[in-house]
Structure 1
Amino acid sequence: MTRAHQHTSHHGEGGHHPDHGPDVHHAHGDAGQAEILDLDAEVLAEHIASITAWLPLKSEPHQIVDLGCGTGAGTFALLERFPDAHVTAVDTSAGHLRLLREKACARGVEGRVRTVQADLDRDHWPDLGRPDLVWASASMHHMADPDRALAHVRELLAPRGLFAVVELAGFPRFLPADAPENRPGLEERAHAATDSFHAEHVPHRGADWGPMLTAAGFTVEDERTIPVNIESGRSEAIGRYAHGSLQRIRGVAAPALSREDLAALDELLDSDSPNSLLHREDLAVRTERTVWAACRA
């Protein structure tokens, strides 16, 4: 999903991020973000599966809505977890939805997926049915008016249904604290350089959704914060994930970085450099993800 707090689009998962992708991706187009979302899904597949397994459902869901589905990390995790379910995948990006449909065909589950292109910041949402489960991963904090979006979810959710809000505590870190050797702490300084951008464009990032859900007429059934710490040896995609992610952060952070930090960052991003992120063996994916499971009060 192309992410901008001007609300021309809303993408989740992946997102990382998410399931996540970085909040700075909107400046780099659908194609680059789709690649990051796919890497995010690959690296965090086991983690996403653990969340879907944890959900405190009263019964097996048959109709699921994935809000801000991106390229489908959550959609396919949910289809695998609930083999009798159908998923309505909602996103603003036509390109991401096309990729999701292609994946569904390749996996033989196209009959269980419906895609809907919609801007969830609009006053009126399209008909999304009466889902037993609404999944919103790394998408709610991009809403222009979260209270209005929560009201929409409460209206469409089945009476005994569950609403799962999944949010990353922050953008993943990849490098050890003492790296790179010539500019220790560079990654943290790069993230700090994007703080003002995020404060302006995604002010709800890192919010506590518990009180917001309660105020919107939900009862929070359970809440869990899950640490993410995936060492490079567990996935060969981590190097590419780190490279693509920090490349996008560079575009926002560069004006606030010192000349020395920018040069060190560019060396990490230089695929031909022996010090490139693509060649490092000390990378990891470190962050936290919080899940709020709520039902209609």
Structure 2
Amino acid sequence: MAHKHTHDNIDWPARLSSLRRADELDAPFSRGVADRLVDLLDATAEPVVVDIGSGGGGMSAAFAQALAARGGGRVVLSDAVDELLDPATALVRDVAEGTAVEVEAVQADAAGGQLADRLPPADLVWASRVVHHLPDQQAAVDELARVLAPGGWLALSEGGLATRCLPWDLGVGEPGLGDRLTAARGDWFVRMRAEIPGVRSLPVGWNKALEAAGLTGVFSFSYLIDHPAPASEAVRLSVVDWIAWMSDVGEDQLSDTDRQTVARLLDPGDEAYAGARDDVFVLGASTVYLGRKPF
């Protein structure tokens, strides 16, 4: 079921448990990125970090920890979906308790053209896999740039390398299922964007979009998410989430054989259940694009 506050026809509240599971699993990687980004900030007494599309709250929690380590600051979570924003904010407040970090929440549509009016001027704006769900991606980047205080940084986490989770031959179904799930998700993504009302293409790379928004010093870096086999229980359950999501959005592109294989991999009562295999893993890479608002 679509959610009334989103543009992409995705029921994000239904994905909260899987978002939380991924946040917990990837917490060390998120903290590394948060530390790197907070280190970019000038020696402001209480820097303001805004997390656009805060989802399950994992990255906001990492920013709260990074700010606490440097003496304090302010984390502002912003999401269009209250059912995500409320529990995410509660999570981050628990993390920040007893520190000099303030935590706030602002319900807002990142494509509504009002972010700069509703959010405080930010020393850092973080938006991870948010902009590609919005109708006009360049307009969205422009709006995120307007949220920045002079000298502030905009960090977009977009693209990278597709996540790999499965052995080539699972011993059930046809080999190469992981590649076909990834391809099916790619086909779905094209359709998803085409069906967003008012959609406009962005025929350039993200670095060019940041430059078009008037930001300077644009650069990027990538980081790995690596949970190798043999897999822990947390990794196995995350792989189950990945299979469920990829097969759900890409179902129309899968063969009957692959659908049957997916059903077995997702069935805890089946001997093929992915959650019981320690030969699954999680390996991917994310890219962060950064630009700075001139003083």
Where 1:159 maps in the other structure, the secondary structure is strand
Greater C-alpha radius of gyration: 2
Equivalent residue runs for 1:45-194 within 5 Å = 45-55=27-37, 57-60=40-43, 62-83=47-68, 84-109=72-97, 112-125=102-115, 126-169=117-160, 171-194=162-185
CA deviations on 1:4-24 (whole Å, 9 max, x unpaired) are: 8xx9427xxxxxxxxxxxx9x
Shift of 1:81: 0.6
Equivalent residue runs for 1:8-19 within 5 Å = 8-9=5-6
Aligned positions, number = 279
Where 2:250 maps in the other structure, the secondary structure is helix
- The amino acid across from 2:113 in the alignment is D
Shift of 1:156: 2.1
Where 2:110 maps in the other structure, the secondary structure is coil
CA RMSD of aligned residues (A): 2.7
Shift of 1:39: 1.1
Which segments of structure 1 move beyond 6 Å, counting only runs of 4 or more? 203-207
Q: Is 2:78–2:106's contact at 8 Å kept on the other side of the alignment?
A: yes
Shift of 1:108: 5.0
CA deviations on 1:61-90 (whole Å, 9 max, x unpaired) are: 611111110121111100001110111100
Tell which has more relative contact order, 1 or 2 (C-alpha 8 A, sep 6+): 1
Report the TM-score, using the length of structure 2 for normalisation. 0.85
In the alignment, the residues of structure 2 paired with residue 233 and residue 107 of structure 1 have an alpha-carbon distance, to the nearest angstrom, of 30
Greater shift, 103-112 or 283-292, is seen at: 103-112
Shift of 1:201: 1.8
Q: Is 2:235–2:282's contact at 8 Å kept on the other side of the alignment?
A: yes
Where 1:33 maps in the other structure, the secondary structure is helix
Greater shift, 82-91 or 97-106, is seen at: 97-106
CA deviations on 1:155-177 (whole Å, 9 max, x unpaired) are: 22111111111124255221022
Question: Identity over aligned residues, as a percent?
Answer: 25
Shift of 1:178: 2.7
Shift of 1:54: 2.2
Q: Is 2:93–2:103's contact at 8 Å kept on the other side of the alignment?
A: no
Equivalent residue runs for 1:23-42 within 5 Å = 27-30=10-13, 32-42=14-24
Report the TM-score, using the length of structure 1 for normalisation. 0.84
| Distance change >3 Å, CA 60–CA 174, structure 1 → 2 | farther
Equivalent residue runs for 1:277-296 within 5 Å = 277-296=274-293
In the alignment, the residues of structure 2 paired with residue 92 and residue 200 of structure 1 have an alpha-carbon distance, to the nearest angstrom, of 22
Q: What are structure 1's unaligned runs of at least 5 residues?
A: 11-22
Where 1:270 maps in the other structure, the secondary structure is coil
Query: Which of 215, 218, 239 is the aligned partner of 2:215?
Result: 218
Shift of 1:271: 0.9
Greater shift, 56-65 or 279-288, is seen at: 56-65
Shift of 1:210: 0.5
